[in-house]
Amino acid sequence: MQKTGIVRDARYLNHKTGVHHFETPQRLETIYNMIDREGLNKRLTLIPPRFATLEELEMIHTPDYIEKIMDTAGEPLRYLDPDTVTSEQTWEAAFLAAGGAFEAVKAVMTGKLDNAFALVRPPGHHAERNRQMGFCIFNNTALAAEYARRQFGLNRILIVDWDLHHPNGTQHIFEKTKEVLLFSTHRFPFFPGTGAIDEIGIKEGRGFTINVPLSPQKNDSDFYEIYKKILKPVALEFKPQVVLVSAGFDTHYDDPIGGMRATEYGYAFLSDMVLEIADKTCDGKAVFLLEGGYDQGAMRKSAKAVLETMSSSIPQDLKITIKKRGGDKTHVSEIIRKVIDVIKPFWKCFNNV
């Protein structure tokens, strides 16, 4: 059994987005209810969030942008752009989301916990340094990575993003550094329009952004093949000191936006692979952060699968079942080959591929 923590707080539900918005409080509420109903709370350690300070937010975001979010306090629904909405207490939830990410990193890096899942909202991976985007206010994963760099002196951080959408904000924030390796699988072309294969980083960061753009209808075994053949060898060569996961559940087959065919079992297996990488490189230090996912049933089942995997392990027979599942292997094999061709000059693990 692993010592697994969760960041959880009812104030995250106070970020209201209106009745017709996809990113609703019910997304998170259904996960919280599942944890209580299934008895997972008995084996998970609660990590109380705190408010991020202005100085901490300024590690990633500009002062003017932070002030813009603070200025929404007490206001009814305000559309900052066609997708991103604030309400009276959005600023509070956003400050707590970032602060919850910091506390999760702290608990894992100090050895209090083996791993943690920050079950927070608003989500973050689309947020740029100076603007909101795609339901996201502050970039929680990028902030967690920068916090780990500055507070614990880390210089090798792996970010894995399996959300349906490309993490444009996270990529742009770290694309010039080799201290943060970003690996993303995402639907393409799709919102936000970034994440092509040839986006591999800039200057000394070249090779440390790895994008795997996918057409629709990819299933568990497709993601398994991609992670096994691209992420795993690169990550073991990179040897991260902590692994961060932007965990969106909108590639689930029940998601109303996604158009993918992943299941909760696939998320369990991806989690298992990520945790195996962490075990081999950084004593299992891994922090998951909630991103997208817009079907309540899919959110509930997927979060349960990931939390159970984090706190124990998935059965061997499930691993075998997922490996045997069929998929569009010809297309996935082609994407894998193209990605490896682009990044192999930067990674010795592909010298003989």
Specify the DSSP class assigned to residue 52. P
Q: Could you tell me which residues come within 8 angstroms of residue 19 by beta carbon, excluding any fewer than 6 positions away?
A: none
Q: Where does 157-226 have alpha helices with state H?
A: 168-174, 220-226
Instruction: Note the Cα 196 to chain centre separation in Å.
Output: 18
What's this model's pTM, rounded to 2 decimal places? 0.96
The answer to whether 130 and 61 have CB atoms below 8 angstroms apart is yes
Q: How far is CA 192 from CA 74, 135, 167, in A?
A: 29, 12, 8
The answer to whether 340 and 353 have CB atoms below 8 angstroms apart is yes
For the sheet containing 44-47, what is the strand order? 44-47, 4-7, 115-118, 286-290, 242-247, 157-161, 180-187, 209-214
Please give the CATH topology (third level) of the domain spanning 4-350.
Arginase; Chain A (3.40.800)
Residue 114, burial from CB neighbour count under 10 angstroms (0-12, 13-18, 19+): buried
As a whole number of angstroms, the distance between CA 202 and CA 175 comes to: 6
As a whole number of angstroms, the distance between CA 59 and CA 62 comes to: 8
Residue 90 sits at φ, ψ, to 5 deg, of -60, -40
Domain boundaries, the chain: 4-350
Our answer to whether residue 186 is catalytic in this structure is no
pLDDT for position 141:
98
> 126, 165, 186, 252: which is the annotated catalytic residue?
126
Q: Token match 């959408």: residue?
A: 165
Specify the DSSP class assigned to residue 178. S
pLDDT in tens, the chain (353 residues): 789 999 999 999 999 999 899 999 999 999 999 999 999 999 999 999 999 999 999 999 999 999 999 999 999 999 999 999 999 999 999 999 999 999 999 999 999 999 999 999 999 999 999 999 999 999 999 999 999 999 999 999 999 999 999 999 999 999 999 999 999 999 999 999 999 999 999 999 999 999 999 999 999 999 999 999 999 999 999 999 999 999 999 999 999 999 999 999 999 999 999 999 999 999 999 999 999 999 999 999 999 999 999 998 666 666 666 656 555 555 799 999 999 999 999 999 999 88
